[in-house]
Amino acid sequence: MEKIECDICVIGGGSGGLSVAAGAVQMGASVVLLEHGKMGGDCLNYGCVPSKALIAAGRRAHAMTGANRYGVANMEPQVDFGAVKDHVFGVIDAIAPVDSQERFEGLGVRVIRETGHFISDSELEAGDFRIKARRFVIATGSSPFVPPIPGLGDVEYYTNETIFELRERPSHLIVVGGGPIGVELAQAHRRLGSEVTVIEGVRALGKDDPDFAAIVLDQLRAEGVEIIEGAQAERVSRSDDGIVVHLPEGRDVHGSHLLMAVGRRANVDSLDADKAGIDTNRAGIVVDDRLRSSNRRVYAVGDVAGRMQFTHVAGYHAGIVIRQTLFGLPAKAKQDHIPWVTYSDPELAQIGLTEDQARTEHGDRVEIARFDFAENDRAQTERATVGRIKVMVVKGRPVGVSIVGKNAGELISLWSLVIANGMKMSAVAGMVAPYPTISEINKRVAGAYFSPRLFDNPTVKRVVGLVQKVLP
């Protein structure tokens, strides 16, 4: 068995792990990276990248059916589902070199394609290697959670890790789970020609503002997606033509294919974390605000850290850990400036507190500023007027922003900058956005916040009147 000593051992070659490894080695640390699966992890191979590529194909197909709004004849898209998947994997292949073993070895990282498990508080084994490190970073990510539904083991079902391998278009896709993954893939498959039914045990898109989520769900229903809320899947069985999901009160949903999209679970089982004195729970590795585990030499980043499960969070965590492990500087991970987006059409984006959360936490101190996409000239030119933005403000500073509409995922980035830096609404009101752009919506909602203070204020009107009398 080969023994290796290094400054940092990174367990997991997904977004968070690769960011730590690349940053650390380029700043002079010796780094070992363990990855037993595909380099790039879930995001590149099974998550963000393939799903957005599939969504892009669905958007093009859907655009053909509504072209008459622009004076162009509608057409029924002819979808080659296998060619769509070629597009999906072509996108993955284009990005893969950035995450490849060859690139990281070129940077100076020792890459070992094995599963690692701890044997002590400072050592782990991976295949024929024993690695002793000054610091460990666990970045093992998460996997699809598949609930123990009776009969599920007797039928073929898909998760986000396998659905993209399917090259024949499902005639009727049943999606169990109405969160972002389920909603995104449901709409994409519907636009590519499948019948789709979504089954959600509570409320679809339940983590988002309910009024804004309703706009997205209404659009899916308008496109022909059946959405069943408040119904747990009680049992699954086979039928002559596919699969049946049995719901309460004797309701059955028949389909040809089944996608399970009910959530994620952290990948901790193979680590033997207890042998290193690392505490775990149902969410993953137990960490403090510094992302440090109960073993002070071990950190966790990304999905396995038990916080928000997004690729951009993993990258953010990587920066927090690098500051501490390389420079010994104190750094804490926050969440109030972290946005998330559901890449439906229209898109749904959120940062910080929703309106309900803000009112619960801040009571009457909360002010709400609103602006509709229909009042934006660029949205009118694009026929993309379904949407709105809502900003929750306390003492002049935003504490949460909800956006639904075209480019919501792009618009939310500004608010991350504002909240991360403690900026006030006046900073947004003072910016100049090019005309005509969707981005003007951010400035206009800031103007909506200040309008009552300027236009409905008797004192302002008196001051203006006095000034007009004395001006030459």
Kind of pairing, strands 280-281 and 142-144?
Answer: unpaired
Q: Is 207 annotated as a binding residue?
A: no
Q: Is 181 annotated as a binding residue?
A: yes
Q: Is 430 annotated as a binding residue?
A: no
Q: Is 123 annotated as a binding residue?
A: no
DSSP for 4-34? EEEEEEEE--SHHHHHHHHHHHHTT--EEEE
Q: Is 141 annotated as a binding residue?
A: yes
Q: Is 66 annotated as a binding residue?
A: no
Alpha-carbon 72 to chain mean position: 35
Instruction: Tell me which residue of 87, 107, 92 sits closest to 38, measured CA to CA.
Output: 92
Instruction: Tell me which residue of 280, 312, 308 sits closest to 293, measured CA to CA.
Output: 280
Q: Is 121 annotated as a binding residue?
A: no
Q: Is 237 annotated as a binding residue?
A: no
Q: Is 35 annotated as a binding residue?
A: no
Alpha-carbon 339 to chain mean position: 8
Q: Is 122 annotated as a binding residue?
A: no
Alpha-carbon 137 to chain mean position: 22
Q: Is 182 annotated as a binding residue?
A: yes
Cβ atoms < 10 Å from Cβ of 389: 26
How far from 86 is each of 47, 80, 90, 91, CA to CA, in Å? 16, 10, 6, 9
Cβ atoms < 10 Å from Cβ of 220: 21
Q: CA-to-CA distance for 392 and 403, rounded, in angstroms? A: 12
Q: Is 452 annotated as a binding residue?
A: no
- 326-335: long-range contacts, CB 8 A cutoff, minimum separation 24: 326/23, 326/24, 326/27, 326/28, 326/29, 330/290, 331/290, 332/289, 332/290, 333/289, 333/290, 333/291, 333/307, 335/307, 335/308
Q: Is 409 annotated as a binding residue?
A: no
Q: Is 360 annotated as a binding residue?
A: no
Q: What's the chain's Rg over C-alpha atoms?
A: 25
Q: What residues are designated binding site for FAD?
A: 52, 116, 140-142, 303
Q: What residues are designated binding site?
A: 52, 116, 140-142, 177-184, 200, 263, 303
Q: What residues are designated binding site for NAD(+)?
A: 177-184, 200, 263
